[in-house]
Amino acid sequence: MKVAVIGAHGKVARLLLPVLVDRDVQVSGIVRKDEQGPFVRQVGGEPVLLDVEHASTEQITEALRGVDAVVWAAGAGGGNPDRTYAVDRDAAIRSMDAARAAGVGRYVMVSWIGSVPEHGIPEDAAFFPYADAKLAADDHLRATDLEWTILGPGTLTDDDPTGAITVLGEQDDMPTGAASRVPRADVAMVAAEVLRTPGTAGRFVRFTGGGTPILEALR
């Protein structure tokens, strides 16, 4: 399998790449800066320089030709609403259209646990542009004929991985406080597992840290 990871230098992606390489996956790591390429090569992937924020659908399509699956792990990082919409919504949507044009079958989106219409984030809240942008991108993905999976992790931490999670139903209330947390390393493991778990296609997987081994939880 060959997987393109968009946003390959992000915090989750940096943990995901070596996991995929260890599983004999060919990794194409899409990065926006030259200086980010050496990390991708160091862990065994092949860096591809492309600023998806400003790239056209056609340019992204060319970068995705020949891959079997795409993982979207890019993000604007908050702080600037215009850039949040440009990356987390617009560029993400272009990447989905590009994946279809390139003949890619599988698409995994790293989103967040509250990506539902009733997310409850007020429009005047600083977090609203992110919630709004992610929901728009996720809904666009749901409407495609890609074999998509949307990952909805809770509050991300830099704690050591546990290899276990709790999966929530799509209608379950969002947990708060410590109950909402999940290590980024476990999010990376979930992304790696869904790529080889066909039964997760067409699912919005909402999860936090927990006590069920990841593969068991996904099944």
Rounded CA-CA distance 179/170 in Å is 17
Distance CA 195, CA 186 (A): 14
Nearest alpha carbon to residue 132 among 143, 142, 145, 123: 123
Q: Is residue 130 among the annotated active site residues? A: yes
CA distance 21 to 195: 13
CA atoms of 139 and 150, how far apart (whole Å): 10
User: In a 3-state reduction of DSSP, which class is residue 111?
Assistant: coil
**DSSP assigned state of 154:** -
Which sign does the torsion angle of CA 119, 110, 60, 65 carry? negative
**Residue spans of alpha helices (H) in the chain:** 11-22, 37-42, 57-64, 81-84, 92-101, 128-142, 184-195, 214-218
Residue 100, both tokens: 């279809």
Q: Please tell me which residue in 72, 107, 112, 130 is annotated as part of the active site.
A: 130
- How buried is residue 79: exposed, middle or buried, by Cβ count under 10 Å (0-12/13-18/19+)? exposed
What residues are annotated to the active site? 130
